[in-house]
Chains A and B, each alone.
Chain A
Amino acid sequence: MKSLFKGIVWGLIAVLFFTTNGWGFGRKKVVRVGINAPITGDIPKVGEGTKYAARMWLEDIENAGGIEVGGKKYPVELVIEDNEAKAESAVKANTKMITEDEVLVIVGPQSSKQAVPAGDVANNYETPMITPWSTNPDSTKDRPFVFRGCFLDPFQGPVLANFITEEFGFTKTAVLYDVASDYPKGLAEFFKQSWEKIHGPGSVVAYESFTTKDTDFSSQLSKINKSGAQVLFTPQYYNEVALIVQQAHELGWTGPIVGSDSWGSAETVTLCGKDCYGLFFSSHYAAAGAQGATKEFIERYEKKYGYTPDDVAALTWDSLRLVQTAIENSGKLTGKIKKDRRAVRDALAKIKNFKGITGDMTFTEEGDPIKCAVIVRISDKGEYEFYKSVCPN
């Protein structure tokens, strides 16, 4: 018994001795920025883009010697959490970052599936959060602390409907979408609504659906072929886009196929090949032929990670720059995290005409940005070319 007690005491002394921090005391004041990204799970490429953009941003800050608030420079730390592309994990990650790591502001999660519940957490704890890529209106709705970095589906639907009408002069369209996934379904509905507003009811001649992970679309595509549609709209993710476009061409579809921002991944052309050349989609930015800061970002990213950044990386970059501007504008960091978070939130809401690499942004009261959409054409070399910019009026 005695020797056990002795052992414990010596052990404790040893522990105290080795905890070097025991001599240092004090906890440094740092600005922590949380990143909630799907690093594992269904969409790891999205998580990777997020992580890389964040690391590039941190590099910039470190080179500048920290973030400057009220004449003082503070070091910045990134807290990157994996949300496994699951709602429950995104909620856990947000709670952890807010209560444990005491982050000042959170960037992420990317998909609406995670951003809607995670935004609820951020809003309850009064922590500002920007979701760069979530297009579901619910993510920011009635949540003063939640912002987003991209335009919404109710904007994108009409943009595409107007573009097709003006560009090709078509009056009959077909839509093919995934009924089990919230993003394609929502966008398909908004597109249908605005198309029918322009061309009258019945002008969407085929409104066909499938379920996630389907790989054979021949029955839907045959129907679309027979329906007399002049153009096919399919707001799908990159892996499905390749299949849909290739199968449509095999079945003799000759009209144009138009997509949405979910086409914007670098993988689309890799998988789809020549079939996708010459097609149009709406997006947040176009990599080929970019100018100024956008070009600089793309070149730096390419040099560092070896591939062209997709829209997630660009939007994450913009969100982080927004966060940086807001922190710099917040006036003073008091060290009281609640007060600082509120100050950053107020500064974020006040940002006007922010010059981002995905376009200029001004936040509405809901925390959604007013920004332009870009129509991208896939060039004959498979690059994403800027074709046209459509701004809200």
Chain B
Amino acid sequence: MDNQDPKFQLSTKGSRARLLDFVAPIPLIGWLLGILAAVLVEYFLGDYISYYLGLPKIPVLFGFLTVLKKPLLIPGTMGYMILVYGLPILIIVKSLQKPANKLAAFLDKRRVTVAALVHLALFYGALHLWADISDYRLLVIKLAMIAIMLTLSINVINGYMGEFSCSHPGFMALGAYTASTITLFFFANDKLFGEALLPEALGFYFFPLALIAGGIVAAIGALVIAIPSFRTRGDYLAIISLAFLFIVKSLIENLEFVGGPRGMSSQPDYSNLPMVFTVMVLCIWIINNFVRSTMGKALNAIRDNELAAEAMTVNTRKTKIITFMFAAFWAGVAGGLFAHVLRYVNPGSFGIQRLAEILAMVYFGGLNSVTGSIVGALSINILSEALRPLEIYKWIIIPLLLIVVMLVRPTGLIAFTEFKPKELMKPKQNKVEV
């Protein structure tokens, strides 16, 4: 390659094109390395840098919380963001561009699983260090990951299959209560179920089983929605699923042995970061494979024209039952994690408000898209946390944002795309010079 020529070209291009040129040759693993470097800088130097810049502490959520309360700190916070995130990422990404591409090329020849695991390990490392800075960050990120699972699982029904289901908080409640009952019954001394039956040390290892049990109960509950969905669509199914939500809520309110309206508290602290992260990755992985499978294509066929799909040998009944149960399973698992993050559940948490949140996340992010669900859940979740200092104005800004997105992109930010991990992890410079 000629060294002079590209530089000359760069200066004549617009800033957007220049940015694209700058970013284009960097593979995903390069970005992950850059993020890891930035997080390491924050981990070791964050305290000094924030001290020098006159900030009260390390800005937890990208400085939103401090800036909105004390606008005087804007320059300091911006300086921090540039010093800790901007510069290290840029430097590492650019300087490691060649080795990163080589590494990506090397991984590209291996199985996708291996490559994905390497990427995930790197990402988890960065996330762990990032969350280690503050417990508040940890809590926010855990709840955001649970929101991703919920959004993704409702996307399977509302996005891929095109039904309008409103029963997701109900599934979540079933999962949350089942998992809580199991862990409290077996592994904790509490006032509802008395002494622990099994040694508490075992609890953590049995927790995944409790989550799965929660998912299964939610899936069984989903049958109640799946069967009427053979005959109804659209508004009618929405009403039936809404009714299901109320049934679940009333049921729990009147079940005295799970605490009734007072709820259950003091679940053991099993939902730590590795647990939530692993379950979320499994959820994304499995749902992504599900929607890209033949079954996933059948879902789209049902959405577009159920009669035609039936005529083209799609077994619509079976597809619907499986989809509802599958999505409900993941909502139940997410509910189980949620109960063990908050260590408290009450029926009031699984009402219309939760439904509105989940629906906002899925329609904001984009229908029929795994990436969209992730983006939607993360942005709504982090945004509503970052805008916390605005109090009541937060509830004006977020809905306004939703309206704007619906006007500009009626199907959501990133809709109707396929999430292809293999493409994502590919090296970006095909021929790397040695």
Contacts and interface: CB of A to CB of B under 8 A. Distances in A.
B60 interface: yes
Given A87-B342, A87-B344, A92-B136, A39 B391 contact: yes
Interface in B108-167: 134-136, 139-140, 143
Contact of B139 (A19, A21, A91, A182): A91
Interface string B244-269: 00000110011000001111011000
A235 B259 CA distance: 19
B177 to A, nearest CB: 14
B263 A182 contact: yes
B52 interface: yes
Interface in A7-51: 8, 11-12, 15-16, 18-22, 24, 27, 39-40
Interface centre among A8, A12, A39, A95 (most CB of B within 10 A): A95
B62 to A, nearest CB: 13
Interface stretch (A113-121, A161-169, A284-292): A113-121
Nearest to A92: B139
Given A21-B53, A100-B65, A39 B392 contact: yes
A262 interface: no
Contact of A19 (B76, B254, B349): B76
Interface string A108-139: 00001100110010000100000000001010
Interface in A139-193: 179-182, 185-186
B87 interface: yes
B348 interface: yes
Contacts of B342: 87-88, 91, 117
B262 A95 contact: no
Contact of A185 (B7, B60, B260): B260
B399 interface: no
A24 B76 CA distance: 13
Contacts of A8: 82, 87
A95 B135 contact: yes
A87 B345 CA distance: 8
A334 interface: no
What size tier do the contact residues of chain A reach? 35 or more
Contact of A87 (B249, B266, B349): B349
Contacts of B349: 86-88
A136 B349 CA distance: 17
Contacts of A318: none
A113 B346 contact: yes
Contacts of B260: 182, 185
B48 interface: no
Interface in A219-236: none
A180 B136 contact: no
A95 B261 CA distance: 25
B78 A180 contact: no
Nearest to B75: A18
Contacts of B72: 20
B83 A117 contact: no
B346 A95 contact: no
B299 to A, nearest CB: 31
A100 B346 contact: no
A133 to B, nearest CB: 16
A87 to B, nearest CB: 6
A197 interface: no
8 contacts: A18-B75, A21-B54, A21-B55, A39-B391, A88-B143, A96-B136, A180-B347, A182-B262
